Amino acid sequence: MKASGKGTLRVRSPQLAADQTSRLRFRLRLVVFAVILLAVPLSAVSGVAQRARRRRKGDEREAMKLLGSALAATHDRHALLPVVLAAMVEATGAVGGRLFEGNAEVARHGERSSPQEALGLALSGGSEPMLVLYAPAGGFTAADRALADVLAGQASIALENARLHAIARHDAVTDPLTGLANRRRFMEELGLELSRVHRYGRELSVILLDLDDFKSINDCLGHAVGDDVLCAVAGVLLSGVRDLDVSARLGGEEFAVLLPETNLEGASALAERLRRQVAELGLPVPVGHPPVTASFGVASSPPALSAETLLEVADAALYQAKRDGKNRVRPEREPA
Q: Which residues are catalytic?
A: 253
Report the alpha-carbon distance of residue 297 to residue 206 in Å, rounded.
8
Q: Which amino acid is at 294?
A: A
Report the alpha-carbon distance of residue 319 to residue 330 in Å, rounded.
9
What is 110-132 written as a DSSP string? E-S--SS-EEEEE--SSS--EEE
Contact 272, 201 (CB under 8 A): no
126 Rama sector, left if φ>0, alpha if ψ -120 to 50, beta otherwise: left
Alpha-helix residue ranges (DSSP H) falling in the chain: 14-38, 45-54, 60-69, 77-92, 142-172, 183-200, 214-221, 223-240, 264-279, 307-323
Q: What is the CA radius of gyration of the chain?
A: 30
Report the alpha-carbon distance of residue 219 to residue 253 in Å, rounded.
14
Nearest to 267 by CA among 180, 329, 198: 329
Report the alpha-carbon distance of residue 193 to residue 35 in Å, rounded.
34
